[in-house]
Structure 1
């Protein structure tokens, strides 16, 4: 069987697949190998074709030989056995083993019971060949995870150590595990990146720095970037600390254990707090129990467990909620179908009780309190709170807890409407920040750092900086544009050291569980800043900056502020206070029932300055009858994110990029559609790197871009340019996608449709989408041929520029570009303070030299940010934009009556000296 052996020999020199696609290539290779072996062993085989299949089998083995060493299951031993059987010509036996391996990929979660498992054989090599699960007591299926062992000792000694650890396992263990053993730091980092199933790391003092394998260029460059500045010393302990630091930065959710070869007490004082625990090589049982305990702790869902326990208890209900325990519906001929549809468990868990372990959301002391603490650990916050009525409410809670009437808040003009309403309720004066327009694509980008700093410097010159309390930004935007939170906070805090930040991460909850995404989250950025602000190196850097900056600009001499505006700023470590809040829609991008959201708090002054206010705001906006099913799903969502979040997010990105590749490679699709990349949506002035698609260009380029660029683009969401179809976005969404093929999308613009992958997206869904787009392209092609027309741009594309926010009318302006929306909002309560005017009537009044001021919010939905707010002056640009807008749902606009605006009489009543 020379062909297979030759192929395998070649494979040993192959580079490891890129991490963003390793899971897919590995799965495909195993499955294709199973097909090839079935053809080789077929009784109807063609001898000539058989030789071709053997050559193909060799190629597949070569591919797997570069990937499989970084997985425990099926793993290298299993792979070698398949290779041996094929080399010796035992293709039937090899096919059976490959079939067993392929069962491990049968589901997305990779949990299954292999056929023919002999439960009495647990502990044998064969019983652990499959990935994802092992067989527990009574044949129950329990998850199986992988543990990374970094050890460059003798092979026999490592194998004996692994066997002795695995011998500690018992049938009653909640999880089973196997080891992935690698000899070097580079191998360890490669394994951490390409194998998302690794749940713990066991680090020994015996390691090499360099790998003996050939990594792909992108993976090698990524690892080189991560270890740069480390391992430049001779002390072994410092090398171990370096390794722990790198691992914690990449995958903070997984623990790192240390096996020391010297007296533990002699080094414990030097590494206290860095490793989860230190063991000697003889501590087999303690290491085993520690691995189980830590994974069990992440698996634990205190509130979900309490709710399950409550639902199983017998009892009677002499309280509210007739539906509790299915009481009002179980025997009803008119409502019984509710039980049939949702099932009994849902109704057994319905209760208004806060006892029996269920706890109170408004005053948590047991299971909900613990669930909050576990979520805070998962998302790297100081505190986390569950919200059961969406991020709209989460935003209101944060705003109300921080802002008082008269405070100035800087707000992304295009943030979600919940922020605007929150600021009306809080009575804060709003200073809107403009995002850069993308007129060609009929959408807005993000707010530049220059715009943010410029506004703060303006407020400082006008003597209003002391009133500035908070800045609110959307990270990431609906269209996937992502800020660098750390840089934004560092530069803003240099100007205003006590500024509070609210990062609306409604669409970004998943980002905390991926090594590259994580650095762009508010919580991780705050934690990194807190760590660095206390270092001597940072203090020296700040002193150098301070010496180079001129005095602040003034109204008479604003020139100095130009230096501040153009300089990379770093805050004063002596006066800076980190007060950072993030709101996330868990239900949008992680696992949760609808309206399940979280508030994450990283506030160094929380106990001193905000604990009471936050509690009152939480009480104000949180129902006294929260939905327990939503709370339970938030608990589950946190568990899943900690245990398999990295795997799911990496798969999400890879599937999105597979759509982009298909669009490029298919000539017909490429004729009518185009995926907009970084270069289309983020101007070069906001980027130091030049890649149009950093993910496509490799892991190292992706990492470099996200470390350096002011703004980056989320690769898991795709803006599909449909301008060459001649169809507008709303029509394309409803007529072609939703009505024609049941493809659900959310946001459209005049010329585009937003395609979003998520952690629930699978390869079948991606294939279906591509198939549907091909059918649509074929339909458009037929129409073009029949009608003899050319492909045209969508109606209105590029003709109507996106309007800027105009300004607050002088009656509501409060200085520094800010305005009092609350004053304008409640003016409408006076009768008659407002009237309705059509677009043509407003246009006529403006052309005639008159002024029109909006009395209400006017908000196209989606995406859900207002074009007009109370107190804003209406301009012709805004009318032009609204007149061609194709969004069907516009809140605040009455199709039959037009726009609600203030009467001139009402505005005159606000003039100084007017009769009150």
Structure 2
């Protein structure tokens, strides 16, 4: 068997100019931008003729930047390695002004102001990468993208191909593209990992396996990990195995790796002889297979495919509606500004929001606008495009937040007396949904982080233990669904593939609901994507067709079941093994995402993603549930924003997420290295947030050490920490988190944060975070650290007691005394309508509990944020809960009136 991508040589020369400074966070994208910005700054000083350069880094740093860029520019279109060499030669010759002109051209291009034709040489046979004087041309405002071509060519052939493809442009093309031509499979993977502008990849069989580039250790290791992950033997056999040519196996291996890293890229194959045979073997991996002379067809395919991704059917329909003259005779006075523009008192509404918002408002579902409750046109098409982007079988838009999305799924999938296993710390909407559906709730407790006053996540061992307990009690058939929060408020991320595989090994028809309210962005980065629910479900489906997986499952089942009686082995055996999903399991996965929280969408814009092999079983109930919880007057602007947000992340999501992760790592790095900040604040790391038994990673912040370190951690650890979230411990400031948030960050400096605990503050970056915003945050933290330097050591906030686990449901609301599930709905209505409900203040209630009374909560008590209930209807109120609540400093507590106290009822007899 020929390896599709030859192993990376361990003795390959490493370009130390591409290595980071110790502890300095930077992706190759960031390194490239910083290197060009530094060059412009330093060469400009040289061009002035002064001696200021000695105060920065000098000629050694200029040459170091140029050597780095000479490597990485291979992976971007526009200028290339020869262009960088020309700048280096000019600097060496002392021709600083000429060098600066060329550097300025690059910076204009990077910032989006440069000329496409000037960069790629459409009017120059050599192109900008070979010429000394790039040709200037009028700027073209059409959107641009880049196409990766994998083939080993001479410089002259590369220039000729670029010029030929550029000549095919027409004024009617909606988009422009440029070619990035690399000679080897390793270079192709490096380009996919580093260049976010790529939208397509064209593979030609002439490529080699190894790169001649002097790549950094991190990039080489990441290429190796990507190859090990995606270029599987099974994939090679699928292309024909030993009966196929070795060249086809190489093509298949590279295609699988590129698709694994960047599934949003379209793959095309350009071949010579035997194209018909290749098309039959490779159709599943490539959008089309072309002959070498079919360059016009390739050009048209590239343009047309991007137009499909760019399409926003519902947003376009809204625009058309706003432009069309209309008479409004329906129940929406604000439509087309009717009740606003003629008003003497609210004209400022139109001034502030603009006339387009009013023109786009309507309650009509005709004329291309469609109905959210029964979509058949533009909304249906927009949802289908979102399903493609998020790797689901179907996607549903929700206009009143993920709270409603959760209720839709729970009501659709569960029924009264079904048992649902739920993380007690999930968002309050899940608890309310289970009350509405009548399902019986079996709570799981996450591991506590008492030192920081918040919870982590639920270990797989606890989930397995509970499932095995239900099996031992003969009640496993009642367990319907497992609900978990994937990426908690504080950034703890599960391994959904492992959780679902091990649970399905015990009960093969379990349904899973993953609350990914804070994790929608993760689908658009090669490392984070693997821990999304939809990606995990997709891989589990692939395993069902794998002969290797079937053999491994058969071998494990011989250990898990007695071969003679068929009885399962003792629970300890099941708990000790990492269980494999049975090949006949049913993969039924739902994910709810607050698109507006981490991607571009208006507030309350959310999505439900579905991969359910038994969808037909719940399709009708899902539609009924969707109509139950969805307004008949949904906000069309929210729907349009979801459509646009999908377009954005398909076309630039990788770049935006990588930048977000880089900037977050910069914040953590700055706090850890600044002498004043590190005396006052402490960034919590994996070592603080994930106990050692749930991780194998030894590095406290893997991404800070490189993408390869993050890849390995996210591939192996039970829990990881989302690096876009920075939790800072503030005990040494002497104030509690709520005071720090309101009085210092928000009131004094206008910095907004969502969540604090008693002694921590959570800073969340997003795809809209800028470097200037990061710089401002660091500046503010320095000012606050100076303010807190002289504080009194006795001013530290009081320590919180240990976080309370879920106590138990009162006996009258439990099914059996030996299992934890309880009936929230019956308890809720008892708390609403019961005659014996009373309000008791905290001190009096603590005395009653100390005297042996077992009061029962008559409602939900939910500190917000983070938004999970400390008490639910039917729960016995324990001393630990009361002690925790007594010192809680959260200002907003839903379901609790400090003047009246707790709403309680007696335990049923």
Does 2:227 match 1:222? no
Of 71, 90, 101, the match for 2:95: 90
The aligned residue for residue 702 of structure 1 is 710
What is the Cα deviation at residue 84 of structure 1?
A: 4.0
* SS at structure 2 position matched to 1:829: helix
In structure 2, the residue matched to 1:581 is 590
The match for 2:306 among 278, 287, 295 is 295
Alpha carbons 1:717, 1:757 under 8 Å: kept: yes
Deviation string for 1:225-266 (max 9, x for gaps)?
222365998711011111111111111111111111223113
Partner of 1:33: 39
Query: In the alignment, which residue of structure 2 is the partner of 1:721?
Result: 729
What is the SS of the residue equivalent to 1:617? helix
SS in structure 1 at match of 2:180: strand
- Report the CA distance shift for 1:307/1:33 in structure 2 as closer, same or farther (over 3 A): same
Alignment of 1:854 onto 2:826: no
Q: 2:665, 2:704 within 8 Å by CA — same for their partners in 1?
A: yes
1:158 aligned residue: 158
Mapped partners of 2:14, 2:537: distance in 1? 44
**Partner SS, residue 248 of structure 2:** helix
> Take 1:846 and 1:646, find their aligned partners in 2: how far apart are those partners?
54
1:865 aligned to which of 865, 868, 876: 868
Specify the alignment match of 2:892 in structure 1.
889
CA displacement at 1:100 relative to structure 2: 2.2
Match of 2:601 in 1: 592
**Correspondent of 1:563 among 564, 570, 573:** 573
Worse-matched range after superposition: 233-242 or 10-19: 10-19
Does the alignment pair 1:395 with 2:406? Answer: yes
Post-superposition offset of 1:271: 1.4
RMSD of aligned alpha carbons: 2.7
Counterparts of 2:594 and 2:309, CA distance in 1: 21
Give the whole-Å Cα distance in 1 for the aligned partners of 2:135 and 2:323. Answer: 26
- Aligned-pair CA distance for 1:63: 2.6
Q: Which of the residues 810, 834, 839 maps onto 1:836?
A: 839
Q: CA offsets, 1:435-455, max 9 Å, x none? A: 011111111000000110111
- On the 8 A contact 1:70/1:180 being kept in 2, the answer is yes
Q: Is the 8 A contact 1:730 1:750 kept in 2?
A: yes
Contact 1:11/1:62 (<8 A) preserved = no
Match of 2:258 in 1: 247
Distance 1:135 1:64 in 2: 22
* Contact 2:831–2:873 under 8 Å retained in 1: no
Q: Deviations over 1:330-349 (max 9, x none)?
A: 12120100000000111100
Q: 1:819 to 1:793 in 2, by over 3 A?
A: farther
Unaligned ranges ≥5, structure 1? 1-9, 912-916
> Does residue 614 of structure 1 match 2:614?
no
Q: 2:420 aligns with which of 409, 434, 450?
A: 409
The answer to whether the 8 A contact 1:853-1:901 is kept is yes
1:588 to partner: Cα distance: 0.1
Judge conservation of contact 2:77–2:120 (CA < 8 Å) in 1: no
TM-aligned CA distance change 1:753 to 1:551, over 3 Å? farther
Tell me the residue number matched to 2:755. Answer: 747
**Cα drift, residue 55 of structure 1:** 4.6
Conserved 8 A contact 1:16-1:67: no
In structure 2, C-alpha distance between the alignment counterparts of 1:361 and 1:373, rounded to whole Å: 13
Q: Structure 2 vs 1, CA of residues 726 and 135 (structure 1 numbering), >3 Å: closer, same or farther?
A: farther
For 2:670, the equivalent position in structure 1 comes to: 662
Of the structure 1 ranges 88-97 and 862-871, higher mean CA displacement relative to structure 2 is found in: 88-97
Task: Kindly tell me the number of residue pairs found equivalent between the two proteins.
Answer: 876
Preserved contact between residue 840 and residue 900 of structure 2 (Cα < 8 Å): yes
Distance in 1 (alpha carbons) for counterparts of 2:714 and 2:834: 53
Structure 1 residues 119, 327: closer, same or farther in 2, change over 3 A? farther
**Contact between 2:394 and 2:610, CA under 8 Å: does it hold in 1?**
yes
How far did residue 14 of structure 1 move?
A: 3.5
CA distance in 2, matches of 1:395, 1:541: 35
Q: Residue by residue, what CA displacement relative to the aligned partner does 1:159-180 show, whole Å, maximum 9, x if unpaired?
A: 3222212211112211111111
For residues 655-713 of structure 1, give each alpha carbon's deviation from its aligned partner in whole angstroms, at most 9, with x where no partner exists: 01111111111111000101000010000111123221111222222111111111111
The aligned residue for residue 520 of structure 2 is 509
CA contact (8 A) 2:725 2:764 kept: yes
Secondary structure at the aligned position of 2:705 is classed as coil
Which deviations, in whole Å up to 9, do the C-alpha atoms of 1:416-441 show, x marking residues without a partner?
00000000000000000110111111
Inter-partner Cα distance in structure 2 for 1:665 and 1:168:
52
1:496-542 alpha-carbon deviations (Å, 9 max, x no partner): 11100000000000000001100000000000010111111111111
Aligned position for 2:455: 444
- In 2, Cα distance between the equivalents of 1:682 and 1:48? 46
Q: CA deviation at 1:805?
A: 0.4
Aligned residue for 2:426, secondary structure, equals: coil
Give the corresponding residue for 1:323. Answer: 334
Three-state SS of the structure 2 residue aligned to 1:241 is helix
The aligned residue for residue 442 of structure 2 is 431
- 1:363-382 alignment, distance < 5 Å: 363-382=374-393
Question: Following the alignment from structure 1 to structure 2, what is the Cα–Cα distance between the partners of residues 93 and 66?
Answer: 22
| 1:858–1:891 CA contact under 8 A, matched in 2 | yes
5+ residue gaps in structure 2? 1-12, 237-241
1:199 aligns with 2:199: yes
**Aligned-residue offset at 1:93:** 2.4
Aligned mates of 2:120, 2:769 — CA distance in 1: 38
Alpha carbons of 1:138 and 1:220: their partners in 2 closer, same or farther (altered >3 Å)? closer
Specify the alignment match of 2:272 in structure 1.
Answer: 261
**Deviation at residue 833 of structure 1 after TM alignment:** 3.3
SS, match of residue 357 in structure 1? coil
C-alpha distance in 2 between matches for 1:571 and 1:334: 64
Q: Which runs of structure 2 are paired with 1:741-890 in the superposition (5 Å)?
A: 741-781=749-789, 783-784=790-791, 789-790=792-793, 794-797=796-799, 799-815=800-816, 816-890=819-893
SS of corresponding position for 1:819: coil
Residues 188-219 of structure 1, C-alpha deviation per residue, up to 9 Å, x if partnerless? Answer: 11111111111111111111111111211121
CA distance in structure 1 between the aligned counterparts of 2:53 and 2:570, rounded to whole angstroms: 80
Give 1:5's aligned residue: none
Deviation, 1:376, is 0.2
Contact 2:560 2:568 in 1 (8 A): no
Cα distance between partner residues in 2 of 1:48 and 1:409: 66
* Residues 120, 128 of structure 2: 8 Å contact kept: no
1:470 is paired with a residue of what secondary structure?
strand
The answer on whether the counterparts of 2:440 and 2:821 sit within 8 Å (CA) in structure 1 is: yes
1:344 to 355, 361, 385: 355
Q: 2:582 aligns with which of 572, 582, 596?
A: 572
TM-score, with structure 1 as normaliser? 0.92
- 1:6 match: none
Distance 1:257 1:828, change over 3 A: same
Structure 1 residues 281-337: Cα deviation after superposition (integer angstroms, max 9, x where no partner)? 111101111111111111111101111111101111111111100111112120100
Give CA deviations for 1:782-813 in whole Å, capped at 9, x if unaligned: x34xxxx44x684223x510001000000101
Is 1:463 matched up with 2:480?
A: no
Instruction: Give the secondary structure class of the aligned counterpart of 1:32.
Output: helix
User: Residues 125 and 300 of structure 1: is their aligned pair in 2 closer, same or farther, counting only changes over 3 Å?
Assistant: farther
Q: Distance in 1 between matches of 2:180 and 2:582?
A: 45
Residues 376 and 382 in structure 1, CA contact (< 8 A), matched pair in contact too: yes
- Partner Cα distance (1:227, 1:337) in 2: 58
SS in structure 1 at match of 2:899: coil
Alpha-carbon distance between aligned partners in 2 of 1:748 and 1:135, rounded to the nearest angstrom: 55
Query: 2:63 pairs with 52, 58, 63, which one?
Result: 58
The 1:119–1:461 alpha-carbon spacing in structure 2 relative to 1, beyond 3 Å, is closer
Residue 914 of structure 1 is matched in structure 2 by none
Partner of 2:547: 536
